[in-house]
Structure 1
């Protein structure tokens, strides 16, 4: 096992992880431990180059700092990647070796499930490190984060609609929902139960058929969902879908969904604002998953009160971002970043108390 420190400005520690015997190459990035141990998922992808893997893990680690701070969690931000095709290259030896690398950080970074990884994979990683969250079993196991993520998005959508339309009542509201995976399907059920009219799409037609039958949803072709007329568009699939080409076709009042990195570029936030479409910053909206995992990291047995408090923090943060964005004439995503950066720049509470 070889751990090579990479000096990256703005990051507390970045490690290149390699193990020739296990066939392992990966990266662990710790962006910030300002509020607590860095927490973020482990991703496995067939990156074309090591630089591409490094670029991805740095972006994701920074995003976790912002997500955790927005949800008022006592956690920092980090991320990890393994280079390889999860369908072909994932082996117990690679996962065990990566767990050893995480263990060497002595709790400064906790990992969890992400793209290309499963709960069963995490169980293997956990054989060589105690710093794994999102396990299916164990005294503090937090299990499937999807229901909590969906709850957070649902409440965020109500807050977004309240600012966009003047009411958070979902009865009769048209919701165009893209993606019926674990989070998207749970969210669709919540919208339907609240009285919304659902327009749904997914690349898996069986998922669409099930939602139509169970929820009375209307099926929309995947390439037509963005332009479907609705009160709110909920992207719950891939990222980067809001760009210079798609934004002019939108026929909605607001956007709020669980997908990561929905804006293709920073300029796309300005494009939405110019069209009068209210955008809920995705890293704020989809923080339910990390809230769920935090109960495991923080060793919380009575999870419900903690979860409810932190889910409320999502909507409170979103409400402040919308209000300040309107007052300053900028996009909510700009204000969300500023609110987090102000929090990160503030002196620690113990330093204030000592003055």
Structure 2
């Protein structure tokens, strides 16, 4: 564990061993260059504590890229409660309270919210011991905010590919019809897009397709389904050599985290002539809204404008990538480095 912490390129890791549950708590802070660190907390059973630590470090790095990619005044951090076994009831509740005490001890240098295994009710429990949580003070469901960012990303992809952001008549395939996918589909429908919808629950896909005049498609065959823009809003790691070879789309822009199985898959998409919009840019809307409204006191109008500016950021990324003949991921990472080198705006 010592080597993992020493060799990481982040700023610091806070660790606490919870003897009562034999669990490890990790708060990984990757960067505070742009502001105090902020990111959700994940709780699950890990094979070893080191696996939990690696996850916290990886996710914290991703938050740095998300915030810097949209030039937002927060730093990258993430919490992980690495369980050795499942916990429930009062034992789970008290564990979350003790984690809240750990967050509070950092005096605002790290704020947190929901993630895998830590839902809204769990955030309320953490919030008993610390004020440095988001999702409790009226920002509402982040799904529609994330959907707004993905929608403006889809428009940016269309603008780059087809010379116009007008989606009327464009076929958009949405994979995953949850808290983000459904409000996104409604925006796409209002914009005149032809919808193809896929979900692990075929009845859900059929019902929403019927409501919005779209077409439900088989979730297992989604990658070979012809469309203009593919919008993954379900699980990560779905863009890999096997699926990329099947794609029949011109562009990809979605809400799912970590869509690329490996970084090399960005080049595979580029070599196939498929325009890929990096996921941590597309899906930043929900995080921007929650933290902007609750932690930074921004207005709804300001947050809306900030999320819509994701499209402007992608315009610049695509233009730079095209000029250099490189995947947009390369231009995005360069943008992140430039923002971090510059510091707070």
Q: What TM-score bracket applies, with the shorter chain setting the length?
A: over 0.9
Secondary structure of residue in 2 paired with 1:34: coil
Q: CA deviation at 1:117?
A: 1.5
Indicate whether 1:331 and 2:332 are aligned: no
SS at match of 1:224: helix
The answer as to 2:210 corresponding to 1:213 is yes
CA contact (8 A) 1:142 1:295 kept: no
Deviation readout 1:6-36 (Å, 9 max, x if unpaired): 4453211112222212543221100011111
TM-aligned CA deviation for residue 48 of structure 1: 1.4
Instruction: Give deviations 1:199-226, integer Å, cap 9, x for gaps.
Output: 1111123321321221122111111111
8 Å CA contact 2:151–2:187 kept in 1: the answer is: yes
Taking structure 2 as the reference length, the TM-score comes to 0.94
Unmatched runs of 5 consecutive residues or more in structure 2: none
CA RMSD of aligned residues (A): 1.8
Q: CA deviation at 1:193?
A: 1.3
1:34 matched to 2:14? The reply is no
In structure 2, the partner of 1:156 is 153
Structure 2 counterpart of 1:232: 229
Name the structure 1 match of 2:102: 101
CA distance in 2, matches of 1:85, 1:239: 24
Question: Could you say which residue in structure 1 is the equivalent of 2:239?
Answer: 242
* Unmatched segments (≥5 aa) in structure 1: 350-355
Which deviates the most, 277-286 or 114-123?
A: 114-123
Q: Distance in 1 between matches of 2:279 and 2:193?
A: 21
| Alpha-carbon separation, structure 1, partners of 2:243 and 2:85 | 31
Aligned to 1:313: 309
1:143 deviation in Å?
Answer: 2.0
The 1-side partners of 2:340 and 2:303 are apart by 22
Comparing both structures, which one devotes a greater share of its residues to helix?
A: 2
Q: SS where residue 182 of structure 1 aligns?
A: coil
1:74-153 matched pairs, under 5 angstroms: 74-84=73-83, 88-89=87-88, 91-135=92-136, 138=137, 141-153=138-150
Answer yes or no: is the 8 Å Cα contact 1:177–1:225 preserved in 2.
Answer: no
Give the TM-score of the pair, scaled to structure 1. Answer: 0.91
CA distance in 2, matches of 1:41, 1:236: 19
- The 8 Å contact of residues 72 and 310 in structure 1, kept in 2 or not, is answered as no
Aligned length: 340
Deviations 1:70-107 (Å, cap 9, x if unpaired)? 22211001001112399754711111011111111111
